[in-house]
Chain A
Amino acid sequence: MSDRTIEVGIFTVLMAIVVLLGFGAARWRAPENPHTLEEWGVGGRAFGNWTIWFLLGGSMYSAYTFIAVPALTYGVGAIGYFAIPFAVITTPMTFLFTTKAWSVARRHGFLTHSEFAAARFGSPRLGALIAVTGILATIPYVAVQLVSLQAVLRTVGFGGEVPLLAAVTVVSICTFRSGLRAPALLSIVKDVLLGWMLLTAVLMVAMYGGWGSTFRTAAARFEATPNPADGLLLPDNAHLGFLTLVIGSALAIFAYPHALLGMLAAKDRATIRRNAAALPVYCMALALMAMLGFFALARGVRPVDGDLNTVIPQTIHEYFPSWSAGIAFAALSIAALIPAAVMSIAAANTFTRSLYRPYLRPNASAATEARVSRWVSLIVKFGAAALILAVDPAFSVDLQLIGGVVILQTIPTVFIGLLTRWFHRGALTTGLLTGLAVGIGMLYLIPKKDGTGRVVSEHFGGSSWQLDDGRSVYVGIVALAVNLAVTVAATLVLRAAKVPDGVDRTHPEDYLTDAGDPYLKRLDQLIDGLPRAEERPGPQRQHIG
């Protein structure tokens, strides 16, 4: 058997196992009544320590991260490493703020940021606006996962549209059936395979001269390019751009619907706190992947068709033993499908809870909600697939960049809103819309340049805004600053003009609620009459972890 056959064979067998597992996931710790959004959308809020850890790793450290970050370090060096400090600072923030979000969501039965926004500021319209913003930012994020999947499939030899559509169809059916349980179960498989891939990568670097020679060769290659911005260290004028990008990306994590979804599936506050302590393990895995970009550069790996996303798949293909390469490709493919599933579930929940229920069917039953979400999750996935098949895949990467700037504008409502409700609902709406206009306007005005500095296109050329002194700044943070300034000013004006404000349906103690609190159970029954609420936490359900 040739190396290629072994590689493709192992890849195919692993993917087949994954599909079977995905189908079986619906039965995994299955509830008696699976037809509610609580069960389908957040796994009955009953996932323990280990499950949540894998699920978060699966949904936040996606294939796009594992492929795009090394592609960046390969292309520009140190600047691409921004993803690591960004990932590290989210962990203490998760410990403090996600526990609050979990408590208030548990108390009121929220599944999404938008429901929280509507309740906190007494404004369904603000909730709907947050929902639309969240969905628009999520679809291109799903699309870039599929772009990474396509890069892997192309390297394995399954180019074209059919393999990609087949993968999307299979994962859609799994999600449709099993809801959040499918990605949660697959995340465990993915992490085992990914662990193997990282181990192989480290051994491979050691065999080819170790990190010392890798970095020395990479440094020499950066020296040889005409681009002053690349290199092993940040140029003096790059610090501002680097730090604003780190902070902006970290804040965005607390606004993306899918990042919250995984946390809401936790069974209690302690699960989230323990997970925050364990999440930096993923940061180190990502750091290792980022440094693999330098290995690819040092060994002179050439991307397929000039597509930088294929740098890592190509390195794996050229340097891994063929059976290990099969495992690595399976790991990366699953790592693309899991976040695609989680993101589509999150977008679907957002639609159902903040647009469908308030505006289309105010008295939708729990079963109807679950059915609507199932179908919307399908639309999101195939919409994302259509986006990359019908339009240029590079377009979805641009859209994802815009999505990051867009989602940041919901921070005053969904993140600062966890800490204070001082803002006026009208001011938040005004601030959000201003932030969106400023952010998208600035992105529109950034020209796209190629490696030699020649302008290739007039608009949407990345997210760093050039200042006159040669420094740059991340557009998302500038737009967020304008957004916040407008929100504060408008709040003062609206208060002075005595414009009526919404009523806060949450109470200070809601942000500290934990599973098992006596009033919580009573409230569960009051809120949506969930049939299973009173038996939770029941002795008949076994929690893993």
Chain B
Amino acid sequence: MPAPARSRRRQWLLLVPAVAPLLTPYANRIDPALFGIPFFFWYQFACALLAMLVITVVHLATREDGHE
């Protein structure tokens, strides 16, 4: 049984955490630093948090489709 169209649309949100960590050419800078950590390094921490958030949202949004 395929997931309903609405749930499928929500899955596209997963592209955000899949692409954000790859924007390193734009994240390749020292400032703004956080706790003394250059932007390039703490940006990936932010991406990891974003991934947790987006995946949780998509998981909750798509679980009523009968498979979860």
Contact = CB atoms under 8 A, between A and B. Distances in A.
A280 B52 contact: yes
A534 B1 CA distance: 24
Interface in B32-65: 33, 35-38, 40-41, 44-45, 47-49, 51-52, 54-56, 58-59, 63
Interface residues of A, number: 42
A277 B44 contact: no
A214 B33 CA distance: 13
A344 interface: no
B48 to A, nearest CB: 4
Contacts of B58: 95
B18 interface: yes
Nearest to B62: A273
Interface residues of B, number: 37
Given A85-B44, A91-B51, A512-B1, A246 B22 contact: yes
Contacts of B51: 88, 91-92, 280, 283
Interface stretch (A107-115, A139-147, A205-213, A254-262): A205-213
B28 to A, nearest CB: 5
B41 A85 contact: no
Contacts of A96: 11, 14
Contacts of A283: 44, 48, 51
Interface in A43-78: 78
A16 interface: no
Interface in A89-105: 89, 91-93, 95-96
A93 B18 contact: yes
Given A89-B21, A95-B14, A239-B25, A210 B55 contact: no
A243 B24 contact: yes
Nearest to A99: B67
B65 to A, nearest CB: 10
A508 B15 CA distance: 23
A246 B25 CA distance: 13
Nearest to B36: A212
A270 B56 CA distance: 11
Contacts of A419: none
Contact of A233 (B15, B28, B37, B44): B28
Contacts of A92: 14-15, 17-18, 51, 54-55
A509 B24 contact: no
B42 to A, nearest CB: 9
A277 B24 contact: no
Interface string A193-233: 00000000000000000111111000000000000000011
B48 A284 contact: yes
Contact of A95 (B29, B48, B59): B59
B67 A85 contact: no
A234 interface: yes
Given A85-B44, A212-B33, A277-B56, A239 B24 contact: yes
A277 B25 contact: no
B18 A280 contact: no
A291 B37 contact: yes
Contacts of B52: 91, 277-278, 280-281
Nearest to B23: A85
A512 B28 contact: no
A95 B47 CA distance: 16
A277 B59 contact: yes
Nearest to B18: A92
Nearest to A83: B44
Contacts of A214: 36
A106 to B, nearest CB: 13
B44 to A, nearest CB: 4
Given A85-B22, A233-B28, A280-B51, 18 more contacts: A78-B28, A88-B48, A91-B52, A91-B55, A92-B15, A93-B18, A96-B14, A211-B35, A232-B30, A232-B38, A234-B25, A239-B24, A239-B25, A246-B21, A283-B51, A284-B48, A284-B49, A287-B44
17 contacts: A78-B40, A81-B40, A85-B44, A88-B51, A89-B21, A92-B14, A92-B51, A95-B14, A210-B36, A212-B36, A243-B24, A269-B67, A273-B68, A277-B52, A280-B51, A281-B52, A509-B1
- Counting from the closest, the 3 A-B pairs by CB-CB distance are A212-B36, A85-B21, A211-B36
Interface of A: 78, 81, 84-85, 88-89, 91-93, 95-96, 210-215, 232-234, 239, 242-243, 246-247, 269-270, 273-274, 276-278, 280-281, 283-284, 287, 290-291, 509, 512, 514
Interface of B: 1-3, 11, 14-15, 17-18, 21-22, 24-25, 28-30, 33, 35-38, 40-41, 44-45, 47-49, 51-52, 54-56, 58-59, 63, 67-68
